[in-house]
Structure formats: C-alpha cells, structure tokens
Amino acid sequence: MTLQNLDLMRSRLVLGVMAGIVAVGCNEPVQPGGQETTTVSLSYPASFVAVNDTLRLQATALNSTGQTITPATITFTSSAPAIATVESDGRVVGRAVGEATITASFRAATAQVLIVVDADPCTGTPLNLPVGGVRDFRGARAFTCITLAASVLPSEYLFVVGNARAVQDDTLTFRVGLGTPTAALIANAARRGFEDPRDALERQLLEVPNTVENRLRRFEREQITAALPNVQRNLTGPVAALSLSAAQTAMMAVGDTVNIRVPNLAPNKNICRDFIPIRAVTRVVSTRSVILEDIASPPGKLSTADYQGIAAEFDAVIYPTDTLWFGAPTDINSDQRVSIVYTPEVNKLTPANSSGIVGGFFFGGDLIRRTEYPTTSECRAQTNEQEIFYIIAPDPQGTINGNQRTTAGVRQVTRGTIAHEFQHMINQGVRQYNPLVKAFETPWLNEALSHFAEEVVGRVVRGFSETESLNSAMINPSTTDQNDYTAFFRQNQTRFRFWALRPDTASPTSTRARNELASRGAAWALLRYATDHYSNGNPRSFTRRLAIGPETDITNLVLRSSNRPFDEILGGWLIANYTDNLNIPGLNARYSYLTWDMRDVLSAVNNNTYPLLVSTLPGPFTSQAFSGSGAYYLLRRPAVAAATSFDLRTASGAAMTSPNARVWVVRIN
C-alpha cells in the first residue's frame, strides 16, 4: 500500500465515522450560525412505563460532525395520547395500557421510541402472566407490588434482580424473599458457591496470559492517548518519514534480517524504556504477512513448511475475517503486511511450572511513529513503526523457565492469539485516525470484541455461517482432534462459565474485565447477545461501528444498538442466560441467543450440568448485583396456590429506592 493510498484510506475512514456517529434520526437543514442539522439523538432510561408512572426522555440536536447544536428547542409528540402523553421537557406519563410512539423533532430531523405502558401493579389485579410472559419492574412503588395471582395449576417463575446503572462497578446490595412465605412451595435446594477443585487449575490456565495483557492494555491507554493529537494531525498534514527499521521491513525478502525492539512486559520493567532489542530473520513473505524468527531462538525451531502454513491461515482466514468484522488495519510502514515475530522473549513471560501460557501479544505503541509521540514519551525509542505481533517460540527442551514448547503447541497457540490480538490492532488503528476520538475503547468492550474475533474466525475455519446456531457437538465433534475448538471456542465458554457460577460477583462491563476471567467471559456473551438482537441483520456492520467509535464503553454499545436503553439490553441478556434453548412456549425470541445453544455449550464445559447459579425461593437471600449483572431466583408453585408476593428490599430491610434496581419476572411453565 502506498503512502497516497494510506492517506486515501484514512480520509474514507474519517468520512465513514462522521456519517455514522448517531444511529437515530434523519438528514436535514441548515441551522442558525451555519450548523447543518443531521440527526436528533434520543436517550431514555427505559422503553416501558406503568400507568400513572413517568419517565424522562432526553433529546439533543447534532450537526454533521456530531456536535451539539445550541440553542435547539426539541418538540415532543405522542402517537397515542390516550396511552401515553409527553410534555415539552420530555416527561412521559403512562395513561392506559398499550403502546405509543414518542417522536422528538427539531425542524425535519426526528428520532422515535416505542413506549410500552403496563398496568399499574399497585392498583391493578395481581400479575397473571401466561407461560413465556415477561414483565419488568422498576421504581420503589413498583417493587412493593410484585404479586403473582392465585392459581389452580402448577407454575414456575424466574425472578432476576439486576443493576442497570450504565457506569462501571456500581454495587447494589439487596435482600429478596417472599411476602407470603407460608404459601405451599415445591422444594428445590439452591446451589451456592462451592467451586469444583479443578476450577483452580482452569483459572491458572487463563489468568497468566490475562494478567500480562491487562498490564499491556493499561500501559497502552496511558501512553498512546497522549499521542492522539499528533497522530490525528497527520490526517491533514504530510505523513511522517519512515524509520530505517520500518523501511527495511517494507522491502523484506526471505533470508533478510532486521532489528526489532520487543516491548518488555516482564514484571517491574517499563514496557517501552526497557525494550529488548533482537535480531530476526525473515522466514516467509506472504500476501498479508511477514513472518520473522528471532535468531536467538532455542533449538527445535518451526520449519519453513510450518511458517508457510501459519501464513496461509493468516492470509486466507484471519486477515479477511477480522477486517470484515472490525475494519481495515493501518499500514504504517506501507508494506501491505503484518509482521509476525516468533521470539523467546515471549516465552520468558510465562513463569516456571505454570499451567497458563502467554502465547503472544500486540503492542499499540508500534502503531505510533516516533515523531508523533510527545518528546517526553519513552515509547519514542521503542516503537517499530509498523503492524507487528510478538509470538512464543518453540522450545521443546524447556530451556526457558523449564517450560517445554513443542512446534505443534506453538502452531496451535498462534491461531487463537493472532485472531484475538488482530482485533486489538485494528481497533486502535481505526480509532487513532478518527479525529472525533478522544479516548481508546474501555478494556471490557475492547476485550469482548477480541474474544468475539476468536469466535468468528473459528466459525470460518469450521465452515459455519455467521448466524448459525452452534452447539457443543458442532464445535467439538472429536475427542482426538480438538485443535479448532481449543484455538477459537473453548476459552470464551470456559470464561463465561465462571460468570455463570457466580453472576452476583462479576459483571461483563466491569473494569475487572482486564484480568478477571468471569467478567471477560460475560463481556463476550453480552456482546454476542447484543449482536444477535440489535445488529438489524448486519452483524459485521454492528461490530465495525463498535470498533470505530468515537464513543466508548456502555454508551458505544447503546448507540450501536439503535439507541435502545441499557436496561433493555441487560434484561434481555440476563433472562436469555437462563431461558436459552429451554423451548418455553410463548417466550419472545429476544430472550435467547440466536447463534449459540448456550445451555448446551456451557453444560459441556461444566460436567454436563448447566452452571448458572439460581437460588430457590422462599428465602430470604441477601445478595448483590454489580452494574451490568444480576442474581437469579426461582419460584415453583404447586396446584392451588394462593397469591404470592416477591419482596425486594435493601440489605437492612428498608424500601428499595435505587433508580438502578430492576426486577424481571418470567413465567417458565
């Protein structure tokens, strides 16, 4: 790729970002002061309200670059005032059971939301859900009135208590039980948090690489954010000259050698200042990759045929798949390729006697030119000014920390590692050249996208479609050949299993997703669910828009999900984690995964038992929910059951008044 083509790619990227900044509204006219109105952005805490209850909508007029237009008087209208009225300040009042579309307008630009008005649970009759029926409750008044009607048939209900606050690591502590604990119930012992001893080994297997990546991603955000203004200035100015090492790589041929500066990820080292200089020889130059081997690698190196096989899979599968799903990578050194360096410096990151393994990594500092770093940045000396992966080298004799690494094992590790790390490379690249970006993606969503990359690459490798619903037999059909399964699928499901074992102690949106297995697994599952249900039939576009931003965190997910409220996305996901593939009559499809039989695949990694922790009422139980997560409770009633109330309070027994608390009720049978 020439420098001119690189500039053209960047220009197209910027135009694409500007065109897709808000997911709602329509194009329109010129505003006072010469600002062109293109969209109205509409946000709301929920898309439902009870009769006599209220919720507040907020609308903003935005110009073509996503800037807020002021002053701008937004007009609100209701399609059915008898069902729901809306005031000039966006306050919606439920008037009668039904549905009403609320429209926010500024000149000809509009945005809409469908509001569902439910019966007032405190003045209407007790809840009498059909099988498959779902009801949402929020607000202090509603929490005191969650009462199931008397029945003459056996029934089963799921209650999910969640924390819908759209910020990280908020903790909601609560107590739940039944207001009528003397009612006849069907006993079913609750499973509490007793961990299988084998889980300790599984945790270690995954925690070692997670800890290294956590340190790396945190350092990136600190160092590279400071370089963003200089990087983005290059969009309108001349491209900085290539360094000697980058220019060398652009002209590499098999047998050539080049100096590489490996970031130092060892504990107590500065990743940039303490970089490790190596000399590497070119083993393969393919259409999309340059594969290099550290000349200091131990005996037992990969063969030329091995390297050619790695290059072939990268060219034919990983590169095209990741770029389709997340966007075009940068080409800092204009060689149209990504460098893959096999070096024992990566081997040194795995301690002796560890069951875990650091297979490789990408460092975002390599995508920044020396001239773009602040003069005080220590990364000016380290950057290789090119797209580069650092991968573990074979070491069959265990010369490094006593850890034996066979050639077959290294080839296997390479596959999932590069699929995962390539998303990180693309994500940084599309953001750093977006002039609207002020920050890189938060760790939980960045990691969710990279774990998602492992899955979609695995689907291509195995010949599955992007929308096909997969089960354990499909992804792991052979007990003797599990290479594809372990490379692309197993880790996501194992991590998600840890969340399911204790959903009350982890959250997909937590800052702990940097290094906590349960949070990272849940982040992948939440992104998978949102892609299934909110991509409008175009999942690749959905993930590409997440990658490019410029928004981050939950705001990014909500905007890409057609601006649906976070509590709607969260509630659907939490319920789906129980109801998926239970074949409950009448249950809306949004309470399931469309692309996975999640109950089947999680059972397969949990001794054929579905791992989700569900406590059986009457209780009482004292628990907690982190923002973005929840806790599960099951109520089984026999025939001829009296009216039964679900009681949610604070841990001290006071009325639950938190605006972030939610209760979702599902009739299972």
DSSP 36-62: BEEEEEEE-S-SEEEBT-EEE-EEEEE
pLDDT given at position 492? 95
pLDDT given at position 497? 95
pLDDT given at position 192? 38
Tell me how far CA of residue 208 lies from CA of 66, 215, 360, 397, 446, in angstroms.
41, 11, 12, 21, 19
Q: Which two tokens stand for residue 289?
A: 């990759």
pLDDT surpassing 80 at residue 2: no
- Using only C-alpha atoms, the chain has a radius of gyration, in whole angstroms, of 27
pTM of the model: 0.83
pLDDT given at position 4? 33
pLDDT given at position 209? 59
Tell which residue, 422, 251, 464, has the closest CA to residue 320. Answer: 422
pLDDT surpassing 50 at residue 130: yes
Q: State the average pLDDT over residues 346-367.
A: 90
pLDDT given at position 14? 32
pLDDT surpassing 50 at residue 663: yes
Per-residue confidence band for 19, with pLDDT thresholds at 50, 70 and 90: very low
Per-residue confidence band for 125, with pLDDT thresholds at 50, 70 and 90: confident
pLDDT given at position 107? 84
Q: State the average pLDDT over residues 398-403.
A: 95
Q: Percent of the chain beyond pLDDT 90?
A: 65
Q: Percent of the chain beyond pLDDT 70?
A: 86
46-95: pLDDT as tens digits: 777 888 888 889 898 888 766 788 888 999 999 999 999 999 999 999 99
pLDDT given at position 194? 38
Q: How far apart are CA 437 and CA 441, in angstroms?
A: 10
pLDDT given at position 210? 63
pLDDT given at position 5? 36
Mean pLDDT of the chain: 86
Angle subtended at Cα 95 by Cα 91 and Cα 101, rounded to the nearest 5 degrees: 60
Per-residue confidence band for 186, with pLDDT thresholds at 50, 70 and 90: very low
pLDDT given at position 247? 47
pLDDT given at position 526? 98
Between residues 271 and 7, the one the model is more confident about: 271
| Helix pair 553-560, 517-534: axis angle to 10 deg | 20
254-288: pLDDT as tens digits: 999 999 999 999 988 999 999 999 999 999 999 99
Query: Of the given ranges (6-15, 346-355, 449-458, 517-526), which has the lowest mean pLDDT?
Result: 6-15
Is residue 300 within 8 Å of 407, Cβ to Cβ? yes
